[in-house]
Amino acid sequence: MHIILAEDDPALAESTARALRTQGWVVDHTPRGEPVPASVKADPYDLVILDIGLEGIDGFETLQRVRAQGSTLPVLMLTARDAVEDRVRGLEMGADDYLVKPFALAELIARVRVLTRRHQARLGSVLTMGSLRMDLQARRVWIDDQALDLSAREWAVLEYLLSRAGHVVGKEQILQAISGWDDALSENAVEVYVSRLRPKIEPAGLRIRAVRGFGYLMEEAAPAAPGG
């Protein structure tokens, strides 16, 4: 899962990001609200965690801009204000949930899981192609009845390619989907994960085809010609 965290308190941002990363999630952090709408529009995020008291534009304005561009991503708002009107305003503007500071990190993680499960359920939580099934909620992949063993990054690459099957996606797009702003991954890493995935998904009748100069294409492999 790829999360964008907008929080201007450095200590809180660090502890929150660290707790989320222990779950295997990728977290990008910004202390300001301005970058959030453009980042959500350009990159494949799964959740926004948004503080109300941000530098620059506040959390309410940031949320309004995110929703104005048509994003339905779940948004969890953080606030030190416990006034009912602030909570109501955030929910009415399109927030999905809120937490009042100080909060327990275990509760934050639990709420993140609930919000993403709801969002995936609305979108459809199982991706299928050929004989491969990918359950986004259970975090499991099968070919027929055989479970596949994938690393976290292999999972992220496969999910990104499956969700865009039939469309060519660039290495840079994949890289953004599987790494955070603080990760030092290169496009060569994408090539490594793709090469590891290819033999694993071949039994499902699938292939990841390299399209020179553009990127990769997830597609069903052509059936073998009669007689080999």
CATH number at residue 215: 1.10.10.10
Mean pLDDT computed over 203-221: 90
The answer on 161 and 130 residing in a single domain is yes
Structurally, how many domains does the chain consist of? 2
Beta strand extents in the chain (DSSP E only): 2-6, 26-30, 47-51, 75-79, 97-100, 126-129, 132-135, 140-143, 146-147, 168-169, 206-211, 215-220
**How far is 115 from 166, CA to CA, in rounded Å?**
29
- Picking from 123, 138, 164, the residue at the C-terminal end of a domain is 123
The answer on 152 and 87 residing in a single domain is no
Residue 171 one-letter amino acid: K
Residue 113 one-letter amino acid: R
Q: At what angle do helices 59-68 and 84-92 cross, to 10 degrees?
A: 20
State pLDDT tens for residues 190-199.
899 999 999 9
The answer on 118 and 17 residing in a single domain is yes
pLDDT recorded at residue 87:
76
Question: Does a structural domain hold residue 226?
Answer: no
Question: Does a structural domain hold residue 54?
Answer: yes
State pLDDT tens for residues 101-133.
888 999 999 999 888 877 776 666 788 898 999
- Residue 180's pLDDT band, with cuts at 50, 70 and 90, is low
pLDDT recorded at residue 145:
85
**How far is 126 from 113, CA to CA, in rounded Å?**
17
- Residue 189's pLDDT band, with cuts at 50, 70 and 90, is confident
The answer on 41 and 153 residing in a single domain is no
- Residue 81's pLDDT band, with cuts at 50, 70 and 90, is low
- Picking from 123, 156, 175, the residue at the C-terminal end of a domain is 123
pLDDT recorded at residue 217:
92
Backbone φ/ψ region at 215: left (φ over 0), alpha (ψ -120 to 50), beta: left
Q: What CATH number is associated with residue 17?
A: 3.40.50.2300
Q: Which of 36, 44, 28 shows the shortest CA–CA distance to 167?
A: 44
pLDDT recorded at residue 216:
93
Three-class DSSP labels, 135-182 = ECCCCEEEECCEECCCCHHHHHHHHHHHHCCCCEECHHHHHHHHCCCC
- Residue 169's pLDDT band, with cuts at 50, 70 and 90, is confident
Helix-strand-coil split of the chain, %, nearest 5: 40, 25, 35
For residue 40, give both structure tokens. Answer: 């959500």
The answer on 114 and 11 residing in a single domain is yes
Question: Which burial class, exposed, middle or buried, applies to 185 when counting CB atoms under 10 A from its CB (0-12, 13-18, 19+)?
Answer: middle
- State the average pLDDT for the chain: 86
Q: What is the largest CA-CA distance in the chain?
A: 74
Mean pLDDT computed over 90-109: 88
What percent of the chain stands above pLDDT 70?
Answer: 92
Structural domain including 212 reads 126-220
pLDDT recorded at residue 6:
95
Question: Does a structural domain hold residue 228?
Answer: no
Return the bridge partners of 219, or none: 207
Question: Does a structural domain hold residue 161?
Answer: yes
- Is the pLDDT higher at 165 or at 228? 165
The answer on 135 and 114 residing in a single domain is no
The answer on 98 and 141 residing in a single domain is no
Question: Does a structural domain hold residue 227?
Answer: no
The answer on 102 and 47 residing in a single domain is yes
The answer on 30 and 95 residing in a single domain is yes
For 96-126, b where at least 16 C-beta lie within 10 A, e where not — what string?
A: bbbeeeeeeeeebbebbeebbeebbeeeeee
Q: Which of 35, 112, 26 shows the shortest CA–CA distance to 73?
A: 112
**How far is 29 from 49, CA to CA, in rounded Å?**
10
Question: Does a structural domain hold residue 159?
Answer: yes
- Picking from 96, 123, 150, the residue at the C-terminal end of a domain is 123
The answer on 93 and 56 residing in a single domain is yes
The answer on 102 and 193 residing in a single domain is no
